[in-house]
Amino acid sequence: MPRDPDHYEPLPPLTRLPAFVWRRLGRAGRAVVVGVVVVAAVATALTVPGSREAAHERERSEARQEQARQDRRIRALRERMRPHVVRATSIAPLERAIARDARRRTGQEILRTDCERKALGASERALPGLRLSCLAVRTEFSPSEATTGGLLGYPYAALARFARGRAAYCRVFGIAAEGGLTKRQELTIPRMCGGRG
C-alpha cells in the first residue's frame, strides 16, 4: 500500500536515527552514502601512513637539530678547556696565572688560587708530572653557627713539571650535570693538564 503523503512520522530517538534515515533513503541515496563512506575510508587509509612518516621525519629532524646543538656546545666547551702553558718552577707562578685567567674569563675579582695535589688512580700514577686540582677563589665564607665555611670559585686542573720549569692548566666545567650530555659526548680534561683526554 502506497504511503500517504500527508502521513507524519515523528523522528525516533537519537540512537535509532541512523536506521531511520537509512530506511527513508532510496536506492540511489544509499549508493551515495556507501560511496562516501568507502571514499572516506580509502582516503584515511592512504593518509595515515603518510602522516606517520611525516611525524617520524619531524622527530628525526628534531633529533638531528638537537644533536647539532649538543655538538656545537661540546666544541665550545672543549675550546674553553684548551690547555695554557706557563713558566713555573714552583706552585706560586701557576696559581697567579690561573687567577689572571679566571679574571679575564669572568670579569670578576679573584681573591687567590688554591691548588692541591690531586688523588691519582692506579693508571695515572705512572704519568710524569704533578697533577693538581685548583680553585680560583671568588668568595670565601668564614665558619659560623650555620656553616663550616667554604670557598666558591672556578675549578681548574693542572699538570706541573717544575723540574722542567713549566706547568699547564685547563679550566674545568661541570660536565656530568650540565645539559645531560650523553656518554659519547662526555668531556675529559686534556692530557696536557693531567687528564685522560
pLDDT in tens, 77-110: 888 889 999 999 999 999 999 999 999 999 999 9
Task: Give the end of a domain, one of 51, 80, 109.
Answer: 80
Say yes or no: 47 and 28 in one domain: yes
Say yes or no: 146 and 126 in one domain: yes
In a domain? residue 4: no
In a domain? residue 73: yes
Say yes or no: 29 and 99 in one domain: no
- List phi, psi (to 5°) of 164: -90, -5
Say yes or no: 30 and 96 in one domain: no
pTM higher than 0.85:
no
In a domain? residue 5: no
Count of domains forming the chain: 2
| Residues spanned by the domain of 87 | 83-193
Contacts of 167 (CB under 8 A, 6+ apart): 85, 86, 88, 93, 94, 97, 158, 159, 160, 161
pLDDT over 70 (residue 168): yes
